[in-house]
Structure 1
Amino acid sequence: MYGHSNIQDLLKKVNHDSVIPLHIQVEELLMDIIKLPDYVDGKLLPKEVSLANTLGVSRSTIRQASNRLSEKNLIIRKKGIGTRVNKDMVVTKLDSWSSFSKEMLEQGKTLVNYEFNLKKVKADKNVSNKLGIDLDSKVYRLSRVRGVKDESKVYFISYFHPKVLLKKSYDYSIPLYDLIENECGYYADMSKEEITAIIANEKLSKKLNIKIGDPVLKRERVVFDRGKSALEYNIGYYKAEKFIYSVELRR
């Protein structure tokens, strides 16, 4: 109906018998639709009347949900033309801790590395606590500034457990946890995360090409292998106006 094989499965997600309000279900549905490659690439989103008829809900329900996406600057409406995805925004679910490159690939975006630095350093108190290693242990530190064409979006600093032996010759264009699994033999199984709002200092303003004092999302996480042993401690700084984190909570 809409020219994309995946959308039909998404359209089955609305449950009229659920206690979750229909407009919330439709909003979640639209969040998934705008991540499909066709729509990321500029295809017009389904019209409200067509979507309402397909889902068996009112146009006001569709409009309420789409208004929420518009308020978040995730979609762009043009009278007489239609609605498209705002390509400048990056959306990721809070329960999805995959690498940034995988998030970009899932959203059909081309990833650009603006800065790359890999070196061995001594673990300070914070890093040693996060990774469960001795103070001053030698660890690999990987720092990268990443984004899309003509714009940096995130600044990452990763510290790896001493058992993770990295080399500059590895292909860091692939998702990081795929690289660790393929080259080092460790499977990233889970992560624990904290997200805080901060303002950009001079260093962050230069890394992300923003003004000092601009809002930044700071995302800290520790990634564990299947044996619940730490693999990586990562600090990510995201341009706040370019990222939306969606959270799904169930009782």
Structure 2
Amino acid sequence: MTAAHSATTGGRASTPSLRDELAQLIADDGLVPGDRLPTEARLAERFGVARSTIREALKRLEEEGLVDAVQGKGRFVSAIAAAIVERPITRYEGVSEMLSRLGYAVTTSVFSVGEVEADAAQAESLQVEPGTPLIRLARLRYGDDEPLVFSVDHVLRDALPGPIAHRDWSAPLTESLEAYGQQVTSSVARISAVELPFEIARRHRLTGLGPWLLVTETCLTRTGRRVLLAEDYHRGAAIGFNVRRQR
């Protein structure tokens, strides 16, 4: 698949996916720190998109520190791009999206879905009253048929109205929320190294897989509403995070 094919759909481009293609271009073209990137015009022609779209994607790379913009001279591969961030901790992305970006063929098993009331901790994270109706969803995401991420999600019930029995719960929650006007654009997350809870590991035959990275994430819409509390157990032997630090 060429960069242009994967970055465009029906003549329109997704800025996040195009950002990924541009980052991959740095590696594929053998660019090293200090090398100049092609001009916006050439990149637009190469990817078959508008220059404004290329500019937005390049801006993301600048914000992540992978590209340096020099006024009047162009954009250059930064000093830290040699350790290109394959999974930057600063970028919000859904679990299925993340696994797909890492090259996995993703499948999902839904273990349970039901309605519950928010306990004190959940209410605090979502900034609602205890007892507020929630939807609780437990799923396991596989990558190339290997168990990689076990998730327990709590969604505000009024953010996903209608009967829960007839919804495809294997689909990304962010897409379902966006269909009801609740577009998730950011999150506040805490990451810790843990063992998968014994009862979960035993019940779903996930024992002996080593340590997991627990990402507890409160997801916010564009208006700042907290609609989703996600607990994602990432299999530590297969998935990691990259962090850029600088003085």
Using structure 2 for the length normalisation, give the TM-score: 0.65
- Alignment CA distance shift 1:13-1:211 (3 Å): same
Q: Distance in 2 between matches of 1:247 and 1:13?
A: 21
Offset, 1:146: 1.4
- How many pairs were matched up? 185
Change (3 A) 1:235 1:13: farther
| 3-state SS in 2 of match to 1:98 | coil
Shift of residue 136 of structure 1?
A: 1.5
Which residue is 1:209 aligned to?
Answer: 206
1:159 positional shift: 0.8
What's 1:180 paired with? 177
Separation in structure 1 between the aligned mates of residue 98 and residue 155 of structure 2, nearest angstrom: 21
Q: CA deviation at 1:133?
A: 1.1
Structure 2 unaligned residues grouped into runs of 5+? 4-20, 36-67, 69-76
Q: Superposition pairs for residues 76-155 of structure 1, below 5 Å?
A: 92-155=87-150
Distance 2:234 2:217 in 1: 14
**Shift of residue 21 of structure 1?**
8.2
1:159 aligned residue? 154
Give, as a single letter, the amino acid of the residue that structure 2 aligns with 1:220: T
Q: Given the superposition, is the C-alpha separation of residues 197 and 156 from structure 1 closer, same or farther in structure 2, using an over 3 Å criterion?
A: same
- Aligned letter for 1:160? V
* Counterpart-to-counterpart distance in 1, 2:124 and 2:78: 43
Residues 15 and 149 of structure 1: CA distance in aligned 2, closer, same or farther (over 3 Å) = closer
**Matched residue type, 2:217:** R
Counterpart of 2:173 in structure 1: which amino acid?
A: L
Question: Structure 1 residues 12, 249: CA separation in 2 closer, same or farther (over 3 Å shift)?
Answer: farther
Q: Which one of 220, 230, 233 corresponds to residue 229 of structure 2?
A: 233
CA distance in structure 2 between the partners assigned to 1:181 and 1:188 by the alignment: 7
Match of 2:73 in 1: none
User: Counterpart of 2:96 in 1: which secondary structure?
Assistant: helix
Does the 8 Å CA contact 1:155/1:238 hold for their aligned counterparts?
yes
> 1:191–1:222: 8 Å Cα contact kept in structure 2?
yes
SS of 1:177 mapped into structure 2:
helix
- 1:13 Cα offset (Å): 6.2
8 Å contact 1:200–1:211 — kept in the other structure? no
Structure 1 residues 8 and 111 mapped into 2: Cα distance closer, same or farther (>3 Å)?
Answer: closer
Indicate whether 1:15 and 2:33 are aligned.
yes
Looking at structure 2, the residues matched to 13 and 229 of structure 1 have their Cα atoms a distance apart, in angstroms, of: 41
Q: Please tell me the residue identity of whatever aligns with 2:177.
A: I
Picking from 70, 73, 82, the partner of 1:26 is 82
- Aligned pair 1:244/2:240, yes or no? yes
Identity of aligned residues (%): 18
Consecutive unaligned residues of structure 1, counting only runs of 5 or more, are: 33-91
Bigger drift between 7-16 and 96-105 goes to: 7-16
Two-structure CA RMSD over aligned residues (Å): 2.9
